[in-house]
Amino acid sequence: MNKVLIAYESEYGYTTQVVNFLKERLVEHGLDVVAFDVKRSQNVEVYPLEQYKGIILGTCIGVSAFKKLRKTFFKIDLARYKDNSHFVAVFTNSPSHIRILIEPQKGREKYLKYISKKLGFVPDMCEEFKPVLDFTPFSPLDSSDKKVFKMFCRSKGIEVDFNGSNDFRDWNNITAFANNFVKLFE
Q: What is the pLDDT of residue 63?
A: 46
The answer to whether residues 62 and 97 touch, using CB atoms and an 8 Å cutoff, is: yes
Question: Are 104 and 157 in a shared domain?
Answer: no
DSSP, res 134: E
In 3D space, the residue among 34, 77, 25 whose CA is nearest the CA of residue 54 turns out to be 34
* Whole-angstrom Cα Rg for the chain: 17
| Total of domains in the chain | 2
Pairing of strands 87-92, 54-59: parallel
pLDDT per residue as tens digits for the range 88-121: 898 888 777 777 888 888 878 887 887 787 777 8
Contacts of 52 (CB under 8 A, 6+ apart): 1, 3, 4, 5, 34, 86
> What are the residue ranges in the chain where pLDDT is below 50?
63, 75
The answer to whether residues 100 and 130 touch, using CB atoms and an 8 Å cutoff, is: yes
Q: What is the pLDDT of residue 8?
A: 87
Q: What is the pLDDT of residue 3?
A: 93
Question: Are 53 and 65 in a shared domain?
Answer: yes
Domain that residue 116 falls in = 3-131+168-183
Could you give the angle at which helices 171-183 and 14-28 cross, rounded to 10 degrees?
Answer: 40
pTM of the model: 0.87
| CATH code: domain of residue 174 | 3.40.50.360
Q: What is the pLDDT of residue 9?
A: 83
Question: Are 83 and 15 in a shared domain?
Answer: yes
Q: What is the pLDDT of residue 17?
A: 94
Q: What is the pLDDT of residue 71?
A: 58
Helix ranges (H only) for 38-129 are 63-72, 78-83, 104-119
